[in-house]
Amino acid sequence: MSLLQVTIAGVDFKNPVIAASGAYGFGREYNRLYPIGKLGGVSCKGTTLHTRSGNPAPRIAETPSGILNSVGLENPGVDHVLEFDLPWILKQGTVVISNVAGSTVEETCATVEKFSESKTDMIELNISCPNVKQGGAAFGVCADSAAAVTREVRRVCKKPLIVKLSPNVADIGEIAKAVEAEGADALSLINTLTGMRIDIKTRRPILRNNTGGLSGPAVFPVAVRMVSEVYRQVQIPIIGLGGVASWQDGVEMMLAGASAIQVGTAMFTDPFTPLKIIDGMEEYVREQGLSNISELTGAAKLWE
Ligand SMILES: Cc1cc2nc3c(=O)[nH]c(=O)nc-3n(C[C@H](O)[C@H](O)[C@H](O)COP(=O)(O)O)c2cc1C
């Protein structure tokens, strides 16, 4: 086994560095810069049952050390992804994770069923999406609805199932345990933190949607805290993300309890970030005399 190889829910990754959903499309643009097969995995753009054009612009606002986005899950719909995007990315030699969202349990399950019949390697269920039947609150903000959507998805999902948790909750451990009990094979956390900016001249929110999701280095300490909390409460592996921008951040996230990491916003300023993280982590693992990087997972020694 190589120094960086990790196994999550029975799936082997050549290294623990995965592109985060929404920051990498389906990998084509990045593949012009380097072979995306160098990455451990790619979590593809969040996909829904039907085409979605997303929210009106402006839908990105800059913030110190991060961005707010209200893209609103713009995507071509599952049938298009299955026909045009998935066959291409499956040939690139990286683990392919199909990220799924939906506004109702029925819509979410229908999309998962379609991916389940495909050759995708894993499914990542994004439960931060507003649930129209419950008045727009996301499935992921309470343990009952997070459990309910996971239960239904588990019934139709034949692939290893990662459930991606929202940080916009009082007790993320409670949600993680509820989702684990319903059969999730792994967790990924965190999605974006809800935020808002206002233009002081126009007195209008900068985003046309008023609010958006904060990501980037600004959220990193929140993500590390949440990964550490969840690690102590579940048995299933955790993929840690939120503000990871360097190999040192990747190591920190693994020490907190992650078995692998995802990188999102950092690639908007430097698309080579994941490659730099892979190299830096490998050197660190050698220097530390470890036989495999997974020895870092949860190795932080918390104060009593
Ligand atoms: C522009 C943009 C689009 C995103 N789209 C998705 C998405 O479709 N599905 C999803 O699960 N997460 C999506 N995310 C959230 C990221 O995958 C990630 O959870 C979050 O940005 C925190 O990681 P980061 O700080 O490394 O970006 C998106 C984030 C950004 C910035």
126-161 pLDDT, tens digit per residue, is 998 777 777 677 899 999 999 999 999 999 999 999
Q: Which atom of ligand 1 is nearest to the CA of 66?
A: 25
Name the pTM for this structure. Answer: 0.98
Mean pLDDT for the stretch of residues 226-241: 98
Mean pLDDT for the stretch of residues 198-219: 97
Cα 169 from Cα 132, distance rounded (Å): 19
**Structure confidence at residue 137 (pLDDT):** 72
Output the average pLDDT for the chain: 96
Check if 142 is active-site: no
Tell me which residue of 274, 241, 218 sits closest to 24, measured CA to CA: 274
CA of 287 to the centre of ligand 1 (A): 32
Q: Break the chain into its structural domains and give their ranges.
A: 6-55+72-194+215-296
Indicate the pairing of strand 122-126 with strand 161-164: parallel
CA of 12 to the centre of ligand 1 (A): 23
Pocket of ligand 1 (CB under 6 A): 20-23, 45-46, 69, 71, 73, 99, 126, 164, 191-192, 215-216, 219, 241-244, 263-266
CA of 203 to the centre of ligand 1 (A): 27
Tell me which residue of 33, 12, 10, 30 sits closest to 20, measured CA to CA: 30
Cα 27 from Cα 99, distance rounded (Å): 13
Cα 41 from Cα 278, distance rounded (Å): 12
**Structure confidence at residue 133 (pLDDT):** 77
CA of 173 to the centre of ligand 1 (A): 21
Choose the CATH number for 6-55+72-194+215-296 among 3.30.2350.10, 3.20.20.70, 3.40.50.300, 3.40.50.2300: 3.20.20.70
Cα 244 from Cα 221, distance rounded (Å): 10
| Probe target for ligand 1 pocket from 21, 44, 52, 188, with the most ligand atoms within 8 Å of CB | 21
